[in-house]
Amino acid sequence: MSIYLPIAGVSADLLILLGLGLAVGFMSGMFGIGGGFIMTPLLIAINIPPAVAVSTGAASVMASGVSGALAQWKRGNVDLRLGVVLLLGGALGAVIGVRCLTLLRRFGQLDLAVGLLFSFMLGVVGTLMLIESLNSMLKARRGAPVSARRAGQHAWFEKLPLKQRFATSRIYMSILPPLLLGAFVGLLTGIMGIGGGFITVPALVYMFRAPTRIAVGTSLFQVVFVAGLTTLLHAGVNHTIDVVLAVPIMLGGVIGAQFGATAGSRLNAQQLRSLLAVVVLIAAARMALGLALTPSELFQVDAAP
């Protein structure tokens, strides 16, 4: 069943859009990611213009994030205090990111910039996560200790001021590192239409030593509000939110996130991290392939923003 997308200016199959929402929502609930790093490339792959894919992808991230965050909240996996600190930084970063996207679109470099950012960020993060998670699984199989450090030990930023105790995550540290992390993720959300969970979750686990399940739930909490703010900014500044495109994706995402949260609760921390790393690397390969291959249409006519 094909439907016309008025803002994107193309037609798309309704069942495909629902399927994309279900798949990304499932990953959102399982891994604590917004899913935008998967959704945006997939939308571009079905011929949705990058500007619309980024903006509408942020809207779908918000929807699946709400569903996934509620599921994680019921399981006690959200550190509210840490989430608020991440959110404050994320809001500032999102404002800057949306402005950067507007400038890239104005200069005609949006497609290239989005493709390069996705390929680089996903490739680096996915590779590091996969190496670490496989090493942890091998150590656990041999009976060796997985980590010599305990949760809450953070030698490299112990001397920073404004320390707070985040009881749920069992962390005592300055609010400055998570504030900067939130700002960086918000910047990426504004430019790339992603939730940033593929960066937030590894950072909370490896840098701040938060438990994996708490990192997943807290990441989803931040994703909801940062993606929501980004959606409003895109709608008001760039006018690239396609509601007809967003509704089936959001519907599928809300449903899929519930199943994902249930599936994630049945896996251990190492399995969750390794699966997320594989998903991230597949997305990176898909974007890099799109940049390397010759497009089917060498020229495209588009209205000036």
Rounded to whole angstroms, the Cα distance separating 86 from 233 reads: 19
Bridge partners of 173? 164
pLDDT of amino acid 212: 78
Judge whether 7 lies within some domain.
Answer: no
CA 239 to chain centre: 22
Does pTM top 0.85 for this prediction?
Answer: no
Q: Which of 29, 19, 23, 33 is nearest to 277 (CA)?
A: 33
- Its domain, for residue 224, covers 18-142+152-292
Judge whether 266 lies within some domain.
Answer: yes
Judge whether 11 lies within some domain.
Answer: no
Tokens of 85: 């600190």
Judge whether 31 lies within some domain.
Answer: yes
241-251 pLDDT per residue, tens: 788 888 888 78
Q: CB of 188 within 8 A of CB of 58?
A: no
- What percent of the chain stands above pLDDT 90? 0
Mean of pLDDT values over 257-275: 71
19-48 pLDDT per residue, tens: 888 887 787 676 666 566 677 777 877 888
Judge whether 169 lies within some domain.
Answer: yes
Judge whether 304 lies within some domain.
Answer: no
Whether the predicted pLDDT of 273 surpasses 70: no
* C-alpha distance across the termini of the chain, in Å: 30
Judge whether 12 lies within some domain.
Answer: no
Judge whether 303 lies within some domain.
Answer: no
Within 13 Å of residue 251, how many CA atoms lie on the same side as its CB? 11
52-109 pLDDT per residue, tens: 887 777 777 777 677 777 877 888 888 888 888 888 888 888 888 888 877 877 777 6
pLDDT of amino acid 152: 45
91-100 pLDDT per residue, tens: 888 888 888 8
pLDDT of amino acid 267: 67
Letter for the amino acid at 56? Answer: T
Tally of domains within the chain: 1
